[in-house]
């Protein structure tokens, strides 16, 4: 099993990663529609207008990095408030300048759990966790999920897409279900060219264990996250829009 980096090591790594960012990096991440990891995450975001229509929404991006996902959501949806949360000083400097004219964007350069304390309870409609959870120490996951539970509106949703370097999809599913979220976790099992196959997990309460419910698939070129999750009252709709 891989050894999890400390928060300080992670911060140094992120600052180094973002030290050479430019407009090309930003727009690559925000607009690459047809392939790769960023294209997959953008594909998830592009479902949001189908869920919320023209309703005003508040969005929090946890581990928001360059802010490109908030930028895309702002173009597609009617955002009232957008919360950028990350602890990279380099990324913070970049987004403060990039979004300096956006009065509805709020920036927190700090630990995610501490930053969420600044946001009113039951005020967030969408929480984004793309490539973020694997950076959170496993023993902090349940604290984070409970915090998110307090911040989401009754109809709020979680969009999750990540790798499985430090935890299993079963761990995530158990943690979110135990935190009283309704939804699904999908774990990638194989791929044939553009066709990526996922198992949908379900908790068998009689046997008290997690089982692989059914196989779903999605068409996507090149890289894609190994764990995908949708939680909230609209989780079934999100699944229908993205998976076959």
- CATH of residue 110's domain is 3.40.50.150
Domains contained in the chain, number: 1
% of the chain at pLDDT higher than 70? 88
Average the pLDDT over each of 13-27, 86-100, 145-159, 223-237 and give the range with the smallest value.
13-27
Task: Identify whether 2 is part of a domain.
Answer: no
Question: pTM score, two decimals?
Answer: 0.91
Q: Which helix (H) or strand (E) holds 72?
A: helix 68-76
Residues shown for the chain: 244
Task: Identify whether 141 is part of a domain.
Answer: yes
Average the pLDDT over each of 18-22, 56-60, 201-205 and give the range with the smallest value.
18-22
Q: Please report which confidence band the pLDDT of residue 1 belongs to, taking 50, 70 and 90 as the band edges.
A: very low
pLDDT at residue 15 greater than cutoff 60: no
Task: Identify whether 122 is part of a domain.
Answer: yes
Task: Identify whether 50 is part of a domain.
Answer: yes
Residue-number span of the structural domain to which 141 is assigned: 7-242
3-state secondary structure of 51: helix
Phi-psi region of 14 (alpha: psi -120 to 50; beta: other; left: phi over 0): alpha
């Amino acid at each position: 099993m891989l050894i999890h980096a400390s928060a300080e090591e992670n911060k140094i790594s992120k600052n180094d990663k973002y030290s050479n960012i430019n407009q090309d990096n930003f727009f690559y991440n925000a607009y690459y529609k047809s392939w790769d990891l960023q294209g997959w995450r953008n594909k998830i975001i592009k479902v949001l207008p189908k869920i919320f229509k023209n309703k005003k929404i508040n969005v929090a991006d946890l581990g928001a990095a360059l802010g490109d996902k908030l930028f895309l959501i702002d173009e597609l949806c009617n955002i009232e408030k957008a919360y950028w949360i990350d602890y990279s000083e380099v990324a913070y400097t970049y987004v403060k300048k990039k979004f300096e004219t956006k009065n509805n964007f709020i920036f927190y350069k700090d630990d995610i759990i501490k930053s969420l304390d600044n946001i009113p309870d039951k005020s967030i409609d969408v929480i984004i966790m793309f490539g973020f959870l694997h950076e959170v120490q496993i023993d902090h996951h349940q604290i984070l999920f409970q915090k998110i539970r307090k911040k989401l509106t009754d109809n709020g949703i979680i969009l999750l897409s990540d790798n499985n370097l430090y935890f299993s999809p079963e761990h995530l599913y158990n943690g979110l279900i135990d935190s009283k979220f309704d939804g699904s976790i999908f774990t990638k099992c194989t791929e044939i060219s553009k066709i990526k196959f996922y198992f949908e997990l379900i908790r068998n309460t009689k046997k008290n264990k997690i089982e692989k419910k059914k196989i779903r698939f999605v068409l996507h070129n090149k890289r894609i996250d190994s764990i995908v999750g949708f939680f909230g009252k609209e989780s079934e709709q999100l699944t229908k829009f993205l998976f076959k």
